[in-house]
Structure 1
Amino acid sequence: MSRWLKQIAALLLLTLALSACSRVGLAYRNLDVIIPWTLGDYLDMSGEQKGWFNERLKEHLSWHCTTQLPGYLDWLDRLQQMVETNQVTDQALQVRTQEAKAAIAQTAREITPSAIELLQGLDDKQVAEMNEAFAKDQRKRQAEYLKPSLDQQIKERSQRMEKRLEDWLGSVNPAQKQRVATWSAALGDQNKQWIANRAHWQDQFSKAVAERKSPDFPQRIETLLVNRESLWTPAYRQAFADTEAQARSLIVDLMAESTPAQRQRLLKKIDGVREDFNALKCLKAARQE
């Protein structure tokens, strides 16, 4: 999982918690943090490929740390100010979301040429293993998120959210619990839509990689990695917009119901993310140049 990128891609603020990752420094050193799909889970690279990829990764991480992280710190400042001034509104969240999406797109564009080069060098056995990994991923998610009844899915979604919120806010009060339950119910069969879209993307990716020697392969991969939304069906596009709106509404209402202690805990957690970034050696080195 691309931990920090997922953090800023999610609906921000309390949705930092939805990504359930607070060890930013550790996450930033993980191989997959620079790739918008979890490379290590789907490809069994040869020693030569790993060596090549690790060298490219170092270059990408250096670029990311020196050119992108300062912007993330500014973004955290704006996030913190929203909480401190009690300005957690739908409009403000939309702005923060667009900023995060732009940052993710910029990183995806930067690493896409390396992804294309790596994928073009795969052999048939590696491609077959990647496709089997995709199929395994789909079976696992269907069993975990679709096999339970819809009522159970809604209940489990509420429980997951409460657990994440407690990490960022502390114990949630009865009003917040009820709001989370309402949010989860409103999403209905969102699990089905999400998994279907994920499978659709993986299918498109597999088809592109099967034709990795074709002239249009680079453009197809760029679309899959940078312009993923262009491949969404109209139904999922609308469902995703509705899901984002529901998430923003949830965040606004939860903050309206928050206690001073909860807001203080949230601010402390944001400070922790900032400290993790500031502690990265690459960022320190860039500031000294």
Structure 2
Amino acid sequence: MQQLSSIITHKSKWLKTLIVSALLLTLTACTAKLMYRNLDWAVLEFIEDYVSLDGDQEEILELQLKQFAQWHKTEELPRYEVQLQSLYDVDLSAIDEQFLVEQHQMFRTHIKRLANEITPELYSLSRSMSKQQIDEFLQNLTDQHEEYSEKYSQMSEREARARYKERIEKNLRRWLGTLSIEQKNIAYQWSTSIERTHQDWAIYRIETRDRIKTMFARRDDPFFYQNELTTLVNNPEQGYSNELSEKLKRNRALANQSILAILSTVSNEQKQHFKQEVGDWLELVQELQSD
């Protein structure tokens, strides 16, 4: 059930979008299979949304990403299989908070391993960037921030709550199928109790952009540069304000409480739906390992 709560909360946004392979946990199985088999291309396309690479950079990065994809297949997919098997075997009615916490921690560990593995490639690429490429990258970060701020600053409280509710119900339907009235009521209460974090994320994005700008400005200091890049990629939460960290903690507790309340009401049909959904992912991961 961890995938469900992780999809809904999306808290490690910068890292999760950076590591495209983590999308295996959010896409449909069919789409994920296509993306996984073209993982090097997908990551390259993502990076070039931020900075235009020259031919030599593309060639080197493509080689590095092929090696990354092989590592992921041999080292990570077996770990995903273990977690998916535990989800497939579990009785939804018997899930407790400890199980949710353990699943969440496993998910976070997957992400951290991905970040740690790809950090050398990102470091190598960033060191090869010209001033023009750095300026382009920073401008794209600024544009992304302004787009985010404009989108959420114009959203009323009512619109935000409606959006939360829509997302929660959509993901619940994906994993459980048709929802009961009681489950919809729990989802509604969940959506009205979430603490909004858009302003906190806006501040975080600005501060992160400024840290990256400073990092590039100090490229002649290799010790600082490498440490700062490693921290930004591997431990982005270090940049969270105390207010954001506390809100995320409370929202996580709320998510766990709400998920447990919903699971206490699941029908046999919903249990079967969940097992089928997880089973599809389990089958996909097994298939990808055998390719």
Q: Give the TM-score band, short-chain normalised.
A: 0.7 to 0.9
1:52 aligned residue: 60
Distance 2:280 2:214 in 1: 42
CA spacing shift, 1:208–1:93, aligned 2, 3 Å: same
Deviation for aligned residue 1:115: 0.6
Deviation for aligned residue 1:114: 1.0
Distance 1:16 1:270 in 2: 15
1:165 aligned residue: 172
**Which of 174-183 and 111-120 deviates more?**
174-183
**Aligned runs of 1:136-175 on 2, under 5 Å?**
136-175=143-182
1:75 aligned residue: 83
Structure 1 unaligned regions, length at least 5: 1-10
Distance 2:183 2:199 in 1: 26
Distance 1:156 1:48 in 2: 43
AA partner of residue 171 (structure 1): T
CA spacing shift, 1:166–1:108, aligned 2, 3 Å: same
1:7 aligned residue: none
Identity %: 22
In the comparison of the two structures, how many residue pairs are matched? 270
Deviation for aligned residue 1:67: 1.0
Distance 1:88 1:152 in 2: 32
**Aligned runs of 1:138-287 on 2, under 5 Å?**
138-215=145-222, 216-280=224-288, 283-284=289-290
CA spacing shift, 1:85–1:135, aligned 2, 3 Å: closer
CA spacing shift, 1:16–1:241, aligned 2, 3 Å: closer
Deviation for aligned residue 1:196: 3.0
AA partner of residue 68 (structure 1): E
Deviation for aligned residue 1:32: 7.9
Distance 1:199 1:256 in 2: 41
**Mapped contact 1:134–1:202 kept (Cα < 8 A):** yes
AA partner of residue 242 (structure 1): R
AA partner of residue 49 (structure 1): Q
Deviation for aligned residue 1:223: 0.5
Deviation for aligned residue 1:17: 4.8
CA spacing shift, 1:235–1:108, aligned 2, 3 Å: same
Q: Structure 2 residue aligned with 1:12, among 2, 14, 17?
A: 2
AA partner of residue 106 (structure 1): R
SS at match of 1:42: coil
RMSD: 2.2
Distance 2:60 2:206 in 1: 29
SS at match of 2:155: coil
CA spacing shift, 1:207–1:238, aligned 2, 3 Å: same
CA spacing shift, 1:200–1:255, aligned 2, 3 Å: farther
SS at match of 2:94: coil
TM-score by length of 1: 0.85
1:221-243 superposed Cα distances (whole Å, 9 cap, x missing partner) = 11011111222222111112112
Deviation for aligned residue 1:198: 3.4
Distance 1:269 1:17 in 2: 15
Is structure 2 residue 39 aligned with structure 1 residue 30? yes
Structure 2 unaligned regions, length at least 5: 9-24
Distance 2:200 2:161 in 1: 14
Distance 2:276 2:105 in 1: 24
Deviation for aligned residue 1:139: 2.2
Is structure 2 residue 27 aligned with structure 1 residue 21? yes
Is structure 2 residue 128 aligned with structure 1 residue 121? yes
Is structure 2 residue 78 aligned with structure 1 residue 88? no
**Mapped contact 1:127–1:210 kept (Cα < 8 A):** no
SS at match of 1:86: helix
SS at match of 1:133: helix
Deviation for aligned residue 1:16: 5.7
**Bigger relative CO (Cα 8 Å, ≥ 6 apart):** 2
**Mapped contact 1:32–1:39 kept (Cα < 8 A):** no
**Mapped contact 1:146–1:153 kept (Cα < 8 A):** no
TM-score by length of 2: 0.85
Deviation for aligned residue 1:264: 1.2
